[in-house]
Amino acid sequence: MPYDRNGIGHAPTDTSAATAAMLGKQRPGHLRDRVMQALDCAGGPMTADEIAEKLGVDFLSVRPRLTELKERKRVRDSGERGPSRSGRPSIKWEIQKETA
């Protein structure tokens, strides 16, 4: 995944890069923190759609934040699946526990 100068991940297309640049002004780091808080308070793994609903944001803004968090080894695939908005199986994410 490419990243812009603000550390915002985006697809390798001009439209995605433009959206990432626009979001840079809206502090996606703040949304990453909110995603982490939602997972921490959830008491169990959550899908991107469940996280978005809990935060009151669009699921399309949560999915890239989860990818960024996964690449930073802050979240991981729990192995569980839940339904997405379309009814298809979706990864349930959990906080990556630190290993000593």
d(CA 85, CA 48) in angstroms, rounded, equals 10
The neighbouring-strand residues paired with 75 are 95
Residue 26 in contact with residue 38, Cβ under 8 Å? no
Fold classification of 30-95 is Arc Repressor Mutant, subunit A (1.10.10)
User: DSSP state, 91?
Assistant: E
The neighbouring-strand residues paired with 45 are none
pLDDT of the residue at 14: 74
pTM beyond 0.75: the answer is no
pLDDT 10s digit of each residue in the chain, 100 long?
A: 666 555 666 667 777 666 666 665 555 568 999 999 999 999 899 999 999 999 999 988 999 999 999 999 999 999 999 999 899 999 999 999 876 5
User: DSSP state, 74?
Assistant: S
d(CA 41, CA 44) in angstroms, rounded, equals 8
